[in-house]
A and B are shown apart, each in its own frame.
Chain A
Amino acid sequence: MSKLASSEYYDLVRTTNWTPRYVTEAEMFPEAMSGSRGIPAEAWETFDEPYKVTYSDYVATQREKDAGAYSVKAALERANYIDTADPGWVSTLQAHYGALAVAEYGAATAEARMARFARAPGNRNMATFGMLDEMRHGQIQLFFPHEHTKRSRQWDWAHKAMHTNEWAALAARHMFDDMMFTRDAVSVAIMLTFAFETGFTNMQFLGLAADAAEAGDHTFASLISSVQTDESRHAQQGGPVLKILIANGKKDEAQKMIDVIFWRAWKLFSVLTGPILDYYTPLEHRKQSFKEFMEEWIIGQFERQLKDLGLDLPWYWDEFVRSLDETHHGMHMGVWYWRPTVWWNPAAGVSPEERDWLEEKYPGWNSTFGRCWDVITENLQKGREDLTLPETLPTICNMCNLPVVGTAGDGWNVRDYQLVHNGRLYHFGSEVDRWCFQQDPERYQGHMNVVDRFLSGEIQPQNLAGALLYMGLNPGEIGSDAHNYAWAGIGKQNQAAE
């Protein structure tokens, strides 16, 4: 007889629903945590994950994956690649780890929400593996940057960032908390695993892995591709949940959850990933533009997945597609200009050659965003660095907690979408951000963004130095231009003077 094939006993591992007697079903699966939406347990039992795994296979496969990734790291550690890496690439890594490592560990909590509260037994088991996966992603993305703490205090932010009130960390928290930590199990499956992981993290991880390999950072390339291979196993949970919701007349609810989180994810990626792919990655190592990645992974793949499930494109799809030419350029300029308020050194990425590339990938860039960079470049060349640094705070969106941006120069269209709600004036970076708020004002209404806190007197002293202190940023941590303005020709001038 020998060993059973996993297909013989797999179904029994997920035949685990029973009818409670000593407590009620509603007590055991509170709606606020479970989100069954009146759909009975039997209907949830039709949940069938397409990608199946057993405990034995899991520990064997994952042991191998870690052995591979950790040995690449160990083998390359002494080569000290990072000391000779392009400063833009170093910033890429610092931004990536700070925004994601601790949040990935946190995502295990969202998986645990499903592991306990999902009414679908298959979902509960897959979420148990998902819980382990996210723990891995948190731990490995802390272990890898840790070797660099001796190089600069900015590396400390791989652990520290999410524990601070630094604005980008706050924006990331607002989004992650909304998507996965404060939602019921069914919403987590849809928002986290379907809209976010299936929709966006492919983009982040494949895009970055491709650029890492090009940039010669094989440690990071292997890390990120290894993490990516875990995604499909737990990102699959949303699909079957969506099918059950749709089959039980809840399509509109499902659609709304996707629409809200898709937009929120887009905004976060527009500040986190967009600038990295189009400005920080050294020109010669760029595989594709951010927009091209978005077109391939979102417009190509995610759009098809939505259609296959019988869902619609979000109502704002045209606006989303339009903003692929705009938002991340605005976010990049915002981050670079307010560079002392982040924990990495933003790379301007606007040397003449890079501007040619930008113009090619985004026709019209030079006459819009390029106009602002013209002024910045000129000021730097005239020795007026002070004019390239901020003296005030930008207007911050009350939904995405990111600066309100739009197209600059000849295409000027920047607009603050305002809303008065219960006597308070809210600001939004787009019509969609405002719409997200209006879908569920009670989730968001009492939250204060950084500017709200500044104006309320919570940040003291009430100036930029006080704001930096509030954000946990000290000299040695605060950002400056990654290439020390060499792109503006300043390094060359200095050399000539010597």
Chain B
Amino acid sequence: MSAAPEPLKPLKTWSHLADRRKRPSEYDIVNTRLHYRQRDPNVPWELDPNLAMNQWYRKYCNESPLKHHDWDLFQDPDQLVYRTYNILQDGQETYVNGLFDQFSDRGHDQMISREWIATLAAFHSPARYLYHGLQMGSAYVAQMAPASTITTCLYFQSADSLRWVTHTAYRTIELGKAQSDLGFGTAERKIWEDAPQWQGFRRLLEEALVVWDWSEAFVVFNLVLKPAVEEVMFGTFAEVALANGDTLYSLLSQAEMRDAERHRRWASRLVEMALTVEGNKAWLRDRVAAWTPLAEAAIAAFAEALPESDGGVAATARLLNFQRTLGLRD
């Protein structure tokens, strides 16, 4: 066992980054090529090759119809790492908590109309379920994505959805204090399960949650369902809120839209990367075309039930435009 005469020389960075010309950033150092399950595509996990979970990852990750020779080349355009995510979101939460605090001090919920508060009970508080569904969906795609740089974006996205759930729960309790007979905090599940304005989103969400292929699940959540939800909740509904004097909801939804825009930035970058591979474009367009009608129906069902809205016309146009800018729709 005599050692060869020339030992490997130390490098300035990880060996897998050493060939690059540019000096590795903190993002590169802590985020790249971390999924060891990708080392052997036939046996992701170091156990019996036929184990159900080995089959699950082979089928829904490694044999996915969306192809790339090296998904690990993906980079989050925002270059977020855990450390900077918390700095970013602590600042954002300080802003939102400040809004909650100040609007409460000013008696905001006593100044908006009871009618509007009833609208919030029907169209805002039940969104807790929808946002939680997005949280679950992102956590699924995260555990199935083929590269750690993709997974990390999805972990943050899932946490952002929990952030929206939390804001929604917070407002639900506050509104219940202002109008205690409107079922705030107790009626949301029934409204989410039965009221017509939610059934389009509920159907799309439930069907999205059982899409197991990582790339199709990415398409449904990031290119169809999430943008549809965001355009309605932070767009259409926020406009109506503003018209009803609910400045707090308007500002809150703008703050949440900052997260959504970040999700779209990384999703767009991933699509861009996928489109460099022949065959991916047709598949992506096909999947977007297959799922988007459900989103259009969901937007319509929500907005048509919402008094004083445009019936979802603008939200649908923005959703389709987002897909168009990705090159996934004519």
Name, among A22, A140, A150, the residue most crowded by chain B CB atoms within 10 Å (CB to CB). Answer: A22
Beyond A177-B46, A340-B1, whether A146 also contacts B14 by CB under 8 A is: yes
Q: Give the chain B neighbours of A474 by CB distance below 8 A.
A: 4, 7-8
* Residue in A closest to B164 when the chains form the complex, CB atoms: A55
Inter-chain contact B173/A4, CB cutoff 8 Å: yes
Q: Does B26 contact A (CB under 8 A)?
A: yes
Beyond A18-B193, A23-B206, A23-B209, whether A63 also contacts B139 by CB under 8 A is: no
* Residue in A closest to B100 when the chains form the complex, CB atoms: A3
Beyond A3-B101, A27-B210, whether A445 also contacts B48 by CB under 8 A is: yes
**7 nearest interchain CB pairs?**
A476-B7, A476-B8, A182-B53, A139-B30, A12-B169, A115-B139, A16-B132
Q: How many residues of B contact A (CB 8 A)?
A: 88
Q: Give the chain B neighbours of A149 by CB distance below 8 A.
A: 10-14
Complex CA gap A60/B96 in Å reads 13
Beyond A13-B169, A475-B8, whether A28 also contacts B209 by CB under 8 A is: yes
Q: Does B128 contact A (CB under 8 A)?
A: yes
Q: Does A286 contact B (CB under 8 A)?
A: no
Beyond A132-B159, A149-B14, whether A143 also contacts B29 by CB under 8 A is: yes
Q: Does B180 contact A (CB under 8 A)?
A: no
Complex CA gap A185/B169 in Å reads 25
Beyond A3-B101, A152-B10, whether A116 also contacts B46 by CB under 8 A is: no
A135 interface neighbour in B9, B89, B100, B152, Cβ under 8 Å: B152
Q: Does B174 contact A (CB under 8 A)?
A: yes
A selection of 21 A-B contacts at a CB cut-off of 8 Å is A3-B97, A4-B100, A9-B172, A12-B128, A13-B165, A16-B128, A20-B206, A32-B56, A55-B162, A59-B85, A102-B36, A108-B142, A116-B139, A124-B136, A128-B158, A142-B29, A146-B29, A153-B9, A177-B45, A445-B48, A468-B1
Q: How far is the CB of B175 from chain A (nearest CB, A)?
A: 11
Q: How many residues of A contact B (CB 8 A)?
A: 90
B170 interface neighbour in A9, A28, A391, Cβ under 8 Å: A9
Complex CA gap A316/B192 in Å reads 50
Q: Give the chain B neighbours of A445 by CB distance below 8 A.
A: 48
Beyond A389-B1, A475-B3, whether A182 also contacts B54 by CB under 8 A is: yes
Q: Does B189 contact A (CB under 8 A)?
A: yes
Inter-chain contact A18/B29, CB cutoff 8 Å: no
Contact string, A1-34, partner B, CB cutoff 8 A, digits 1/0? 1111000110011011011111100011000100
Q: Which of A157-165, A196-204, A215-223, A328-336 contacts B (4 or more CB under 8 A)?
A: A157-165
Q: Does A495 contact B (CB under 8 A)?
A: no
* Residue in B closest to A386 when the chains form the complex, CB atoms: B1
Q: Give the chain A neighbours of B159 by CB distance below 8 A.
A: 55, 128-129, 131-132
Q: Give the chain A neighbours of B82 by CB distance below 8 A.
A: 62, 66, 132, 135-136, 139-140
Inter-chain contact B140/A116, CB cutoff 8 Å: yes
Q: Does A249 contact B (CB under 8 A)?
A: no
B143 interface neighbour in A2, A63, A116, Cβ under 8 Å: A116
Listed in ascending order, the chain B residues whose CB lies under 8 Å from chain A are 1, 3-16, 26, 29-31, 33-37, 39, 45-54, 56, 81-83, 85-87, 89-90, 93, 97, 100-101, 104-105, 107, 128-129, 132, 135-137, 139-140, 142-143, 148, 151-152, 155, 158-159, 162-163, 165-166, 169-170, 172-174, 177, 185, 188-189, 192-193, 202-203, 206-207, 209-210
Beyond A106-B35, A150-B12, A156-B11, whether A178 also contacts B47 by CB under 8 A is: yes
Q: How far is the CB of A384 from chain B (nearest CB, A)?
A: 14
Q: How far is the CB of A31 from chain B (nearest CB, A)?
A: 10
* Residue in A closest to B192 when the chains form the complex, CB atoms: A18
Q: Does A270 contact B (CB under 8 A)?
A: no
Q: How far is the CB of A332 from chain B (nearest CB, A)?
A: 20
Complex CA gap A465/B2 in Å reads 9
B206 interface neighbour in A22, A125, A132, A340, Cβ under 8 Å: A22
Complex CA gap A442/B53 in Å reads 12
Q: Give the chain B neighbours of A443 by CB distance below 8 A.
A: 47-48, 51
Q: How far is the CB of A135 from chain B (nearest CB, A)?
A: 5
A136-B83, A146-B14, A174-B47 known; 8 other A-B pairs, CB under 8 Å? A2-B104, A4-B170, A9-B166, A32-B52, A116-B136, A128-B162, A143-B30, A477-B8
* Residue in A closest to B31 when the chains form the complex, CB atoms: A139
Q: Give the chain B neighbours of A3 by CB distance below 8 A.
A: 97, 100-101, 104
Q: Does A173 contact B (CB under 8 A)?
A: yes
Name, among A116, A142, A178, the residue most crowded by chain B CB atoms within 10 Å (CB to CB). Answer: A116
Q: Give the chain A neighbours of B1 by CB distance below 8 A.
A: 340, 389-391, 464-465, 468
Q: How far is the CB of A458 from chain B (nearest CB, A)?
A: 12
